[in-house]
Every structure is written in C-alpha cells, then in structure tokens.
Amino acid sequence: MLTLESFEQASEIVKQVTQETKLIKSSYFSELTGNKVYLKPENMQRTGAYKVRGAYYKISTLSDEERNKGLITASAGNHAQGVAYAAHKYGVKAVIVMPTTTPLIKVERTKSYGAEVILHGDVYDEACAHALELAEKEGYTFIHPFDDPAVATGQGTIAMEIVQELPLVDYILVPIGGGGLATGVSTLAKLLNPHIKVIGVEPAGAACMKASLKKGEVVTLPHVNTIADGTAVQTPGKKIFPYIQKNLDDIITIEDDELIVAFLDMVENHKMIVENSGLLTVAALRHLDVKGKKIVSILSGGNMDVITMSSVVQHGLIQRDRIFTVSVLIPDKPGELVRVASVIARAQGNVIKLDHNQFVSTNRNAAVELKITLEAFGTDHKNEIVKALEDAGCRPKVIRPSL
C-alpha cells in the first residue's frame, strides 16, 4: 500500500492541515559533528507534532459512514492531538484514550480540539487495549497511531519535503516509538533515492524496534522506562514491521541523560522547545561516525509541559557542571563565611544557595559545614572554583546538588 502514488496523494492532502516546516541549517551541530546538519522542525506544526499528517490522511481515506460512527484512538499525546484536530476539521466525534502518565499540556490541548479524553493505563499499550475495547463496544472507527499503512503514508510526507528541499541528503534520522514515522520516511526515501541512509533512533529504555529487528519478528518488551513519553512503546507495529526490515538502515539507542543535554543544546543554540522524543535524533548526531555528510534530524514534536521542562533544564545544568554543590569545613568563628564567599567571588562563582550546619561536629571550634550551590560556566570553571577553595584551606568536597 505504501506506493509512490499514495505518498504523492498524501503530500497534497496533508497540506490542508500542516504548516510549512522548512529545513533549518544548524551551524552548532554542523561544527560539532563535522557534517552539514539540518533540522526538520515538526515541533512547529499547529498541533505541535508531525502526527497530524498521518491522522488527517488516514481519516481522508475513510468513508462518510466510517467517519460518522465517531473516531477513537490511543496515544501518549501527539497522535491524540492529530486525530482530535483532524476530526474537528471533518466535524466528527473523537474519543482519545491516553495513558495516565501523559503530560498535562498534551491532555489539555487534545481536549481543546473538542475531543473526549479518557485516561487509562500507565503506558501506551494499556491505553490502546482499552481503546480497542471501546471501539468494539461503541462501534467507533479505530485510528491506530502507527500500525496502519495509511497512517504511515501520511507520516512519510515528511521525507517528500526533505528530498524536495535537500535533494542530495545523505542521512535522515527519525525517531521510533511504534514505527509509523520511520516506516513512512524510510519507505518513501528509498523510493525516491535508494542511496539515502535512514537511521531510526529509539530511547534505550523502550527499544522495542531494535529488539524486534534483532529477533526477526515483532517482540513485546516486559516494561519500558524513559523520559521520552512519546516513544515509550512496548510493542512495535506488526503490519508495518516488514517495511522497517526492508528500508531502515540501522537503529541508534539513546539514554535519557543524552536527551537532557540535547534539550539544553536546542534551547541555547536554536531557541526551540523540542520534547524528549523529538530530541532523540538530536542526541543521535553524536553517535554517527561519519564526516562531511548532509544529515537531517527530524524533530518530531514540541509538546512538553512546563514542569517537565523545568526538571530537564535543572538536570541538564547539573550534568554540564553549570550548577554544582560543594561542601566545605570551616572553623566556627566570625568572618569565616565572608572569607569563603570572597574566595568564590574572586573565582567568579555565583552562589545560588547556602546551607550552614553548625552541628556537623561536636567540636564546633574545629569545624562547621557549609554547603554551597554554585553557578559556573562549565566543568573547567567548576574545577577552578574548587581549586581556589582548596588553596584557601577550606577542604572542599563536591556533593550531589539539592535544588
């Protein structure tokens, strides 16, 4: 079903609901990797993610009778918004089953398009099972978020746009949850130019596609654990799996800590908010052992709630030694706190928080503990501050920050 003709048709249809997401040349990542890196910012779509493409195209292929029964799907958020938005455009009912762990912003935005939202299960797979039960019971038409050739065809329109804009692209990096996006992008890319390498990127804590390709058949992970909620899938799509086997060149897995660093990279260098699943392809740039290639990283979405964003920023600053905590032991006498503060000031450290504990020792004259949380420019600057404290006789010890 995934033919060049169907992709061409889908490309025209999805233009009715998508915004143009032109490639962005990244000087930062190009210099970092020694390649020509471009970003495909699907986080800038109206619904905040690429998912509206597959949802809208799939719904366009349904009969009026199928649409008028009402639509139902399961999603961790982005497909939910895509179906809700597409259903709104067609004027039909949409019921969305979402995991209870879905970020609030995705739940609220899905509701804002007029959809009925039901929270069920801890992961996508549990939500999907409940949605299928409701579809059978109520007669709704089920729109699968990834295991549907029509949905995958809609998602693959991204590859059409990439190749039209960058005909000589060498590598396309695509996030993988259930595999719909990777199926569409890899299949169309190979149809247009078999020499294009398409690399899938999965979170290490939910690498169901990598496990399935290794075994040669679809497998279900016993559990998933990742901050990339949009790709936290236990079982990849069975219908689309043969396309992945045929067209995907490789899979890279990414640890959650790498996504935290990638978030800071995107905010500081491109002033863009990209959700953790969308950051998979950004983190994967550091894993590609190539030079001088034209590489496109698909940023699949940008729907991240503020609380998650705050946590990611804090952890990212800590990982990069931009924030650190040091414990020093000083005599309990007037002027010692000022002395330590002066040492830090001369080293250009910025104090964020102080915790002065007089009871660390029974002999207060011998030592009291001072925990100082500091802002630094990075690892080198952090080491300079610690060295300055050592030279001042403060016996510094770097400890885990507590913000």
Per-residue tens of pLDDT for the chain, all 403 residues: 799 999 999 999 999 999 999 999 999 999 999 999 999 999 999 889 999 999 999 999 999 999 999 999 998 778 899 999 999 999 999 999 998 988 787 888 899 999 999 999 988 889 999 999 999 999 999 999 999 999 999 999 999 999 999 999 999 999 999 999 999 999 999 999 999 999 999 999 999 999 999 999 999 999 999 999 889 889 999 999 999 999 999 999 999 999 999 999 999 999 999 999 999 999 999 999 999 999 999 999 998 888 888 889 889 999 989 999 999 988 888 888 899 999 999 999 999 998 877 666 656 566 788 899 999 999 999 999 999 999 998 889 999 886 6
Known active-site residue 22: no
**Can you tell me the distance from the alpha carbon of 303 to that of 106, in angstroms, rounded to the nearest whole number?**
7
**Whole-prediction pTM value?**
0.88
Please say whether the beta carbons of 234 and 206 come within 8 A: yes
Which residue is catalytic, options 40, 51, 197, 210? 51
Three-class DSSP category at 136: helix
Which residue is catalytic, options 11, 75, 300, 382? 300
pLDDT at 360: 61
The segment(s) of the chain belonging to CATH 3.40.50.1100 are 4-50+149-316, 52-142
pLDDT at 331: 83
CATH class of the domain comprising 4-50+149-316 = alpha beta
pLDDT at 129: 92
pLDDT at 362: 58
Known active-site residue 51: yes
Distance of CA 351 to the CA centre of its chain: 32
The segment(s) of the chain belonging to CATH 3.30.70.260 are 321-399
Residue 198 bridge partners (DSSP) = 172
In terms of DSSP H, where are the helices of 75-192? Answer: 78-90, 104-112, 124-138, 149-155, 157-165, 180-192
pLDDT at 336: 86
- What's domain 321-399's architecture? 2-Layer Sandwich (3.30)
**At the topology level of CATH, where does 52-142 sit?**
Rossmann fold (3.40.50)
